[in-house]
Amino acid sequence: MKVVIIKYNAGNVQSVMYALERIGASYELSDDAEVIRSAERIIFPGVGEASTAMKSLRESGLDKIIPKLKQPFLGTCVGMQLLCESSEENNTECLGVFDIPILKFPRVKGFKVPQTGWNNIVSPESEWTNPLCKGLRASEYVYYNHGYYAPLCDYTVAKTDYILEYSAMLQRDNFFAAQFHSEISGDVGEQIFKNFLEI
């Protein structure tokens, strides 16, 4: 199977590479449009700041290519946020795959922003129904580091509570996304990657 990790200015690619190696998956790191289009699975990681990341995608032309892709696609952390319509982080226009905004966490006494560390994910329904969550328990812990969030919406397939309930995972058609760092979320993250490669 041809797995491509998208190379751009905000990709935390090294830890994603290690995660794929741990589950025995081969991959290619590329920012080449034809290589990305020909992939069977695409992973879109991200750390950093939204407007800088979008500038990188626009300069390479990937901002026009990504929303049109038809194969299974997984965005993580900032990669998930960039798939949304916009971000309050420096008022950034994003890729628009998910027609929802990314919002800044409100300041609430007793809560640190960004949220950094482990928190749980749960299904918005009585049980997991999304293929990306196959084999997960009712509540699992994953690793977060973010100051912005996606609100609950029709695309929500997992949610987390920190200051408020928000979308931990999204899906629209072939596009899947996770706010947390799957690549450093231990066994849970590995299971999510395995599920993604089997979709």
Q: pLDDT tens-digit profile of 43-89?
A: 999 888 999 999 999 999 999 999 999 999 999 999 999 999 999 99
Active site residues: 77, 181, 183
Q: pLDDT tens-digit profile of 109-144?
A: 999 999 999 999 999 888 899 999 999 999 999 999
Averaged pLDDT, 138-156: 96
CATH of the domain at 95: 3.40.50.880
The pTM of this model reads 0.95
Q: Provide the number of structural domains found in the chain.
A: 1
Q: How far is CA 12 from the centre of its chain?
A: 12
Count Cα atoms within 13 angstroms, Cβ side, for 79. Answer: 31
**Parent domain of 182:** 3-198
DSSP state, 150? B
Look at residue 32 and tell me whether its pLDDT is greater than 70. Answer: yes
* DSSP collapsed to 3 states, 11-36: CCHHHHHHHHHHCCCCCEEECCHHHH
Q: What is the pLDDT of residue 11?
A: 65
Mean pLDDT of the chain: 95
Q: How many CB atoms lie within 10 A of CB 59?
A: 11
Q: pLDDT tens-digit profile of 159-183?
A: 999 999 999 999 999 999 999 999 9
